[in-house]
Amino acid sequence: MAIELKAEFRDVAGKGAARAIRKNQNIPAVIYGNKQEPVAIVLGEHDFGTLLKQPSLRTKLFQIKTPKGTEDAMLMDIQYHPVTDRVIHVDFKRIDVKAPVAVSVPLELANIDTSRGLKMGGVLNFAVRKVALRGLVHDMPEKIVIDLANLNIGDVVHGTDLVLPNGIELGLHQAELAFVTIGGKMPEETDNKAAAAAAAAAPAKK
């Protein structure tokens, strides 16, 4: 479902104008892209701050209602004040809802406590925590879940192993990327090496 957001146009640009906007409890923002001229807008600070409590805003469609109509866009960047963490500027990019978009989506792990490999003493390596996807914005998931339940020591989850919704495909260079690995040695390997080491250390019989 699209997120509706009301906005007004701002006629004056520059740092002084932006400070005046923020002083009035508003946020300067811009809508750009789709081979159209950028549009400078003003958002209500309270309304936008409420939206920030929602998860995965960067995967969702925004319908920004301006005095001249509605703009379909996606959230691209939020700038915060370095001291107060107050939002000081927001960037939106226009999109065609009928054309695919490229989005980075967070990964989430499931069944960590019951993972076969981890219960055998394996070590979890979860270094890449986002995956680049491509598809229509209405089909884009908020996250992708990786189920660890049946993974053994030595298993690797590549991009091609991820379960994606219908209509969504991997972005560039994602197919062979290793998102999750369970490192370590299988118990029988450890036992065999320990036995071999013990045999090597034992004194030779005369």
pLDDT of residue 39: 94
Do residues 77 and 139 share a domain? no
Q: In the block, which residue shows the tokens 């065609």?
A: 96
CATH number at residue 175: 2.170.120.20
What pLDDT score was predicted for residue 200?
Answer: 52
Same-domain status, 65 and 122? no
Q: Quick check: 107 pLDDT over 60? A: yes
**pLDDT score of 194:** 45
Q: Which amino acid is it at 55? A: P
Contact 70, 64 (CB under 8 A): yes
66 shares a domain with 9: yes
Q: Is 160 exposed, middle or buried (0-12, 13-18, 19+ CB in 10 A)?
A: exposed
Question: Do 79 and 18 share a domain, yes or no?
Answer: yes
Residues 6+ apart with CB under 8 A from 38: 30, 31, 32
> Do 86 and 105 fall into the same domain?
no
Indicate whether 141 and 174 sit together in one domain.
Answer: yes
- Whether residues 69 and 86 fall in one domain: yes
Q: Does 23 lie in the same domain as 84?
A: yes
pLDDT tens digits, one per residue of 111-135: 999 999 999 999 999 989 999 999 9
Last residue of a domain, one of 94, 121, 156: 94
Position 135 scores a pLDDT of: 97
146, part of any domain: yes
Question: Residue 204: pLDDT band by 50, 70, 90 thresholds?
Answer: low
Instruction: Of 33-42, 167-176, 178-187, give the lowest mean pLDDT range.
Output: 178-187
Judge if 116 and 49 occupy the same domain.
no
Q: What's the confidence (pLDDT) of residue 176?
A: 94
DSSP element (H, E) containing 116? helix 116-119
The answer as to whether 195 is a domain residue is no
Q: Check residue 1 and give its pLDDT.
A: 79
Whose CA is closest to 119, among 158, 157, 150, 162? 150
How many CB atoms neighbour CB 143 within 10 A? 13
- Please state, for a pLDDT cut of 70, what percent of the chain lies above it: 90
Q: Within this chain, do residues 36 and 109 fall inside the same structural domain, yes or no?
A: no
Counting the structural domains of the chain, the total is 2
Cα(162)–Cα(168) distance, integer angstroms? 11
Q: What is the average per-residue pLDDT within 87-116?
A: 96
Q: What is the mean pLDDT of residues 101-110?
A: 96
Average pLDDT across the chain, whole number: 90
Give mean pLDDT, residues 57-67: 95
Does residue 199 lie within any of the structural domains? no
Residue pair 122/90 in contact (Cβ under 8 Å)? The answer is no
- Average pLDDT over every residue of 86-113: 96
The pLDDT value recorded for residue 196 is 47
**Domain of residue 45, CATH code:** 2.40.240.10
CA–CA gap between residue 12 and residue 21 (Å, rounded): 10
Q: Give the mean pLDDT of 167-195.
A: 81
| C-alpha dihedral, 162 to 167 to 171 to 174, nearest 10° | 20
Compute the half-sphere exposure of residue 28: CA atoms within 13 Å on the CB side of its CA: 18
> Is 200 inside a domain boundary?
no
Tell me the percentage of the chain whose pLDDT exceeds 90. Answer: 79
Examine residue 197 and state whether it is found in any structural domain, yes or no.
Answer: no
Bigger pLDDT: 200 vs 136: 136
Give the tokens for residue 118: 């981890």
Measured distance CA(33)–CA(62) in Å, rounded: 14
In this predicted structure, what is the pLDDT of residue 16?
Answer: 78
Are residues 70 and 19 part of one domain? yes
- With cut-offs at 50, 70 and 90, classify the pLDDT of residue 192: very low
Residue 61 structural domain: 3-94
The pLDDT value recorded for residue 14 is 72
Residues 82 and 118 in one domain: no
Write the CB contacts of 85 (distance below 8 Å, at least 6 apart in sequence).
Answer: none
Please spell the DSSP secondary structure of 47-80, one letter per residue. Answer: HHHHHTTSS-GGGS-EEEEETTEEEEEEEEEEEE
